[in-house]
Structure 1
């Protein structure tokens, strides 16, 4: 299950109900999907073929189509990052810059782990959402954030989009970010 670390106070929030309630107050969708839907041969695989990616999408099809229908997503894909990803560190530097999007940024973690750093309300400031397999998050449009890997340095995630052209980031310079 996800865990939240509030940067300004050092407070940690854990447990499904507590994490859900906190994120809901920040306008962030949080769900947890059953990773047992994923075939065992894909549960710890981070170097994926196109066929593997299609199998992951097929495995989570019920959850994906439910969420897409409820929130207007029209396209989805799978991204896999690990130390075997070419130029991983350069790619992470691109991700690890505060930015916004003109649509929600949705990630469903199928395997591994990752961190969304999100700007919360004025009384909260920036907080980290540490995600594990099964965690699903949707950062609202125009909300400053970025994604990075945990020390595990591997993740497989389903991404859902409203705009068929996919992921477009708009840099967000914020002196409050630390």
Structure 2
């Protein structure tokens, strides 16, 4: 189940947890973040090729491309056997921003997007069928867990704009992570 836990930025023990998709959507919209639930038009088998994954969600992808002008769409997968999983996890657990929106749709699996905005920390546990769109410039970090298992559709305006710009703030180390 998708959840949103909102913390004061200086108190990781004082979180308020929400699990209603409508409430999550409203809270995130207040800081400019999009949260949606999508449904596949056809079943997608684990390990399906990129073309099959994209075809299952083509109407939703086309809508976002038309609304926001994204020019690149791909699929990324990570599993617990990936040889660089620990290094990838460490890299994205540090607070960073991007010059482009970070748009991810979870076809399978889960991940924890944590956003630092408006004096608060918003920890969004995204699950299968969740779309999150973090606007360019919003400080955040991502936790895939110690045994990552996810498949995501990514949308970009410019893949080069997705390069992480680390803030140097150690705030991420003070907030909960996935096991």
Equivalence for 1:156:
151
Distance 2:159 2:150 in 1: 23
Equivalence for 1:29:
34
Please say if 1:140 is aligned against 2:126.
no
SS in 2 for 1:27: coil
Equivalence for 2:25:
20
- Summarize deviations over 1:134-172 as a string: whole Å, max 9, x none: 100001110001111246621110010011446211111
Which is worse superposed, 4-13 or 103-112? 4-13
Which is worse superposed, 19-28 or 5-14? 5-14
Equivalence for 2:117:
120
Question: Which of 114, 119, 124 lines up with 1:129 in the alignment?
Answer: 124
- Mapping 1:1-178, distance limit 5 Å: 1-8=1-8, 9-35=14-40, 37-40=41-44, 42=45, 45=46, 48=47, 52-122=49-119, 125-150=120-145, 153-165=148-160, 167-177=162-172, 178=174
Distance 2:100 2:137 in 1: 7
Distance 1:154 1:98 in 2: 22
- Aligned-residue CA RMSD in angstroms? 1.8
- Summarize deviations over 1:12-35 as a string: whole Å, max 9, x none: 011111001100111101111004
Q: Mark the CA change 1:176 to 1:148 in structure 2 (over 3 Å): closer, same or farther.
A: closer
Distance 2:147 2:27 in 1: 25
Instruction: Normalising by structure 2, report the TM-score.
Output: 0.86
Contact 1:6 1:127 in 2 (8 A): yes
| Gap regions ≥5 residues in structure 1 | none
Instruction: Normalising by structure 1, report the TM-score.
Output: 0.86
Contact 1:112 1:152 in 2 (8 A): no
Q: Mark the CA change 1:38 to 1:118 in structure 2 (over 3 Å): closer, same or farther.
A: farther
